[in-house]
Amino acid sequence: MTPKVDAHTGGCQCGAVRFRVTRLGRPSICHCRMCQKAFGGFFGPLVTAHNATWTRGTPKWFQSSNAARRAFCGDCGTPLAYETRFGLELAIGAFDEPTAVAPAIQVNPADKLPFFDGLTSLPVRDEANDEWRDFLAGIHSNQHPDHDTQDWPPKEPPQ
């Protein structure tokens, strides 16, 4: 009897590109400047994906260096993957359940932004006024849900 293998799924913000993987490797955050630029953030959160398949659509690719290329959704721009001769890594934030692939290591610390280690000590703004609550209550997300769907976008607009 074959043991049950949990599949991890994910995709882009608009739902045009989806993936599935059952064999994950090391989850990390990469501080290199190329990852910062590719993710538009302070680091690139990636996990090695040994057997990923694209289950809806296909990403566009950008050859970010002579040794690596990066995948993203051509419709909404979501960063999806990084690939070298060593294999494919998927963007942790693109997973339907990113907490299942929490980073375990930081790599390329030489490019770490000098303020990074102090981010968790920044003050937290958690007060909300009526105007902000009204603004939040009026938001309708067009983002693909965090699970596989038969097709997307839905034929009927969500209520």
Average pLDDT of span 132-154? 85
- Model confidence at 151, in pLDDT bands (50, 70, 90)? confident
Q: Is the peptide bond before 157 cis (omega within 30 degrees of 0)?
A: no
pTM of the model: 0.87
Q: For domain 8-114, give the fold.
A: 2.170.150
Q: pLDDT tens digits, residue range 45-101? A: 999 999 999 999 999 999 999 999 999 999 999 999 999 999 999 999 999 999 999
The answer to whether 152 touches 144, Cβ cutoff 8 Å, is: yes
Average pLDDT of span 130-142? 86
The 3-class secondary structure across the chain, one letter per residue, is: CCCCCCCEEEECCCCCCEEEECCEEEEEEECCHHHHHHHCCCCEEEEEECCCEEEECCCEEECCCCCCEEEECCCCCCEEEEEECCEEEEEHHHECCHHHHCCCEEECHHHCCCCHHHHHHCCCCCCCCHHHHHHHHCCCCCCCCCCCCCCCCCCCCCC
The first and second tokens of residue 106, run together, are 């930081």
Mean per-residue pLDDT over the chain, rounded: 92
* Euclidean distance between the first and the last CA atom of the chain, given in angstroms as a whole number: 44
Q: What is the reported pLDDT for 5? A: 60
The answer to whether 44 touches 28, Cβ cutoff 8 Å, is: no
Q: What is the reported pLDDT for 74? A: 97
Average pLDDT of span 101-127? 95
Q: How far apart are CA 136 and CA 10, in angstroms?
A: 25
Please name the amino acid found at residue 100.
A
